Amino acid sequence: MADHGFPVTRTLVKILATGIIKESCRTETTTVNLERGPIHGATPKAIEGFFKLFEALYTEHKLEEKPHLIFNCDETGFGDKPRSREKVLCQTGRKHKYQQQQIIREHITIHCCVNAGESIPPFIIYPDASQAIGWMDPPNALYGVQEKGYMDSELFFKWLCHFDKYAPEERPIVLIMDQHETHVSKPVIMFCRENKIEIICLPAHTTHILQPLDIAVFNPLKTACSTMASRMSLVRGDVIVGKKQFSSLLKHVYPTAVTAQNIKAGFRKAGIFPLSWAAVDTTQVVRVLPSTEDPIQSSTCSTPPATPSCAPAMPSCAPATPSCSPATQSCAPATPSNSQTTVIETPCPTCHRVAPKNYLLAAGVIPESLANGLMSPALERKEKVRRRIPLPARVITSEEYFDLPPGSRDDTIDEWVQCDLCLFWFHLECIEVEEVPETDWLYQKCCLST
């Protein structure tokens, strides 16, 4: 279940296993938290699409002999909780240890760019221009100001000019980055085409796997900043690293974290240089179930497995029979049980069959009054249906992309809407809908509507 984005706890595994063992008349792992975004983005298909595009550029420009022409850029924020991993001494038996805050909580963004071994001078973005630049700054660093200290389209274009200044004169250059809306704009594409910079965008929600900076650079940089700030507080207890001192702090820790060793390790683990699909950490790749993409592709209902499913996001006619399609008018009965358990009498509104028992209900983990929550999300959906399809990898400076009409160019994420009854996805332009509805929505020609 964890491989498909539905990790279960140890308690639920015991309950499900006990129910299966009792039903079959027999005698009597660690979970990983996964965000919702990577479930739909970090798939084998998305990663394969990126490597196909990158391999074409890799071969065309003979980058195997030119690692200094492969760059990766991204930004990271400072001002969060301290990330120092050093252990501290305290009295034995104390459960709580307090530490004075060393870094100001205002958000400061650092935009970094590295090739397979070296680094471009960083871009530092402050929320306020007053006293932002200290007397000891990173060499040749670029500074910017934004209301909240984040990157925007104007600042990114400013950094792009800074990047072109310090990048090698040999062209073309391949720049790998994510598809954030601040990174993809018409001025950026025009500038890159004029200066022979090939931009390849990573698939959505794959930066933790395919981006060298996220893999091996940003975490050591944040740890080094937090550690140095903690040591400074030992000299003076009232010292708090603010905007005025941050540049000086970054000047000392940047060379110790953004090293050639860390950069090369990031490119190697991402499979970018040397080019190797096998180098990608496959344990972080999610294998999405095919039935979640097209819930009513099959017109017949297959025999339900003996093992019940606890994945609430999969459309089903009953909690224990996830293979049943909403369009099917009959479902195969569940495997007869020898044990006496409570049966939910709530019928399925689509197939009118009574939902069979569920081990979680029988064990009291889920109250019987909430049994309707185990039904298909398509039957009772209360949340908004505004969803977006993750973008695949793309080369936005290519001739194919540039020659597209302005209305069809993927400058922004396409919006789709899902019918709450049949679960089919529809493109807004195809069904002539101007905006994504904020409430429950049914397609006017839905195959399940009566």
pTM over 0.85: no
* DSSP letter (8 states) at residue 422: T
Quick one: pLDDT at residue 248? 86
Quick one: pLDDT at residue 198? 95
Question: What is the percent of the chain with per-residue pLDDT over 90, rounded to a whole number?
Answer: 33
Quick one: pLDDT at residue 170? 95
Is residue 438 a contact partner of residue 386, using CB atoms and an 8 Å limit? Answer: yes
For the stretch 80-126, pLDDT in tens is: 565 566 677 888 888 777 766 667 677 899 999 999 889 999 999 98
Is residue 122 a contact partner of residue 110, using CB atoms and an 8 Å limit? Answer: yes
For the stretch 235-280, pLDDT in tens is: 776 677 777 788 888 999 999 999 999 999 999 999 999 999 999 9
Quick one: pLDDT at residue 125? 92
- Report the distance separating Cα 279 and Cα 267, nearest Å: 10
Q: Give CA 231 to chain center in angstroms.
A: 34
Quick one: pLDDT at residue 272? 96
Instruction: Single out the residue of 124, 84, 127, 374 nearest to residue 232, CA to CA.
Output: 84
Burial category of 340 from C-beta neighbours within 10 Å (exposed 0-12, middle 13-18, buried 19 and up): exposed
Q: What radius of gyration, in Å, describes the C-alpha atoms of the chain?
A: 27
What are the residues whose beta carbons fall under 8 Å from the beta carbon of 76, sequence distance 6 or more? 109, 110, 112, 213, 218, 221, 222
Phi-psi sector, 202: left (phi>0), alpha (psi -120 to 50), beta: beta
For the chain, the first-to-last Cα distance in angstroms comes to: 35
Quick one: pLDDT at residue 113? 97
Q: What is the mean pLDDT of each run of 10 residues along the chain (450 residues)?
A: 73 77 60 52 88 94 94 89 67 77 79 94 85 68 91 95 95 94 90 95 92 96 87 73 82 94 96 94 75 40 40 40 41 42 46 57 70 46 51 81 54 62 69 73 66
Is residue 162 a contact partner of residue 123, using CB atoms and an 8 Å limit? Answer: yes
- The per-residue b/e assignment along 238-263, b for 16 or more CB within 10 angstroms, e otherwise, is eeebbbebbbebbbebbeebbbeebb
Quick one: pLDDT at residue 213? 97
Quick one: pLDDT at residue 351? 54
Quick one: pLDDT at residue 372? 52
Is residue 215 a contact partner of residue 208, using CB atoms and an 8 Å limit? Answer: yes
Show the domains of the chain with their CATH numbers: 1-34+287-378 (no CATH), 37-81+100-284 (3.30.420.10), 381-450 (3.30.40)
